Chains A and B, each alone.
Chain A
Amino acid sequence: MIPYQFEYKRAKSLGDAQAMLAKNPDAKLLAGGQTLIPTMKMRLANPSALIDISKLAELSFIRVEGDALTIGAATTHGAIAASADVRRVLPSLAHMAAHIGDPAVRAVGTMGGSLANNDPAADYPAAALALNATIKTTTREIAADDFFTGMFSTALEDGEIITQIAFRKPRRSGYQKFANPASRYPMAGVFVAQIDDGIRVAVTGAGPGVFRVEAMEAALTKSFTPDAVASIAVASANLNSDIHASAEYRAHLVTVMAKRAVEHAVAHDGH
């Protein structure tokens, strides 16, 4: 399959990428290309130009300072999964990264690309929301609570580039997904985190976008055990139904994945 014509430009720096985006309003950033290129091949996207930011060293890094973990937007899933620092500070995130797609997707796909795309079945939005991450861009800092605004939509403005994602080490956390056996995208994925200001439970894959489950958060605040969430069901009315699973089945999976995520947080601290 062959996409529409476009012009390819490799950014020499973040400033260069910003300037090129400002000059070409119909251009798109290209990171790992693992969502954008298939979409262009299907001719569902028709950017006038692609501005490649995947080779910018200033966007590709993993830094730990005390309890703060900062990941550059163009860091690949593979690099996050393999990082000794991420495994130590936030093993649940390393586990998540290691189970995105397949090794070839992980070799080039990036955290910034995934968050900017906000696919309702993407893994990282669950981690970002449950861990109350901060998404830093070329113009501002956006709390995860304000970042995900709906299916494939985010708070990002035209021309705004995600530069890094900042996490704080939680007291404990765990992520479990029921993966579609073909793509490995979650049919339901639940991230459970106990952070300084409380417990947060974020669900991805099941609904039109990532969402929190307050009833589970309240139950886990009383007792951080798998049993605490075992009988809490989310309403199926707002969940997705497709060839892979009905909304009712997804609702069931959310409870099961929540239980397993808590088990992991307790037993393995997210491994």
Chain B
Amino acid sequence: MTTVSMTVNGKPVSADIEDRTLLVYFLRENLRLTGTHIGCDTSQCGACMVHVDGRAVKACSMFAVQAEGAEVTTIEGLAKDGKLHPVQEAFRENHGLQCGFCTPGMIMTAVAAIKRHGAMDRETIRHELEGNICRCTGYHNIVSSIEDASKKMSAA
């Protein structure tokens, strides 16, 4: 057992865990933050995407102890004061989801990509989404949602 401490969605957290605990299980089972999903569990689908020190990473492919001392943001940490994050709002307006299983990962990837690129064209967005799989939408409206959000956020 190791005591791990990090900041998750702005709050300091600490727990005694086995070293082999994956970050995604730590978030879902220790912290009950179940918005971070497990799709493939084999590093392919991006449903488990969270931010660690500002970078989008797959929480199923990282141990919680690797995030010792880090700032972690999950989908639950995006909305502020009861107001959706602009990327969440854009997914709602553009019908960017169907079943919603991939959506937390899509949104975490999009927020990190917008931070790097600012406003993005559709080709750039598709390249940035290479690590996220959606079995429902055909991606079209996901790309539209992110395009919309990236333009609104860069104009603001």
Residues of A within 8 A of B (CB): 1-8, 10, 30, 33-34, 37-38, 41, 50, 52, 54, 78, 101-105, 107-108, 182-184
Contacts and interface: CB of A to CB of B under 8 A. Distances in A.
B55 A37 contact: no
B18 A107 contact: no
Given A5-B20, A41-B42, A103 B61 contact: no
Nearest to A98: B127
Contact of A7 (B19, B128, B131): B19
Nearest to B62: A33
A107 B63 contact: no
A38 B42 CA distance: 6
Contact of B46 (A1, A4, A104, A108): A104
B71 to A, nearest CB: 14
B57 to A, nearest CB: 5
A44 to B, nearest CB: 12
B44 A183 contact: yes
Given A38-B42, A104-B57, A108-B57, 19 more contacts: A2-B22, A3-B20, A5-B20, A7-B19, A8-B2, A30-B66, A33-B62, A33-B63, A37-B43, A102-B130, A102-B132, A103-B109, A103-B112, A103-B130, A103-B131, A104-B46, A104-B58, A107-B57, A184-B130
Contact of B109 (A6, A101, A104, A108): A104
Contacts of A8: 2, 19, 63, 65-66
Contacts of B132: 102
Interface in B95-125: 109, 112-113
Interface residues of B, number: 29
Contact of A37 (B44, B62, B130): B62
Given A101-B131, A103-B128, A107-B55, A6 B113 contact: no
A34 B43 CA distance: 8
Contacts of A33: 61-63, 66
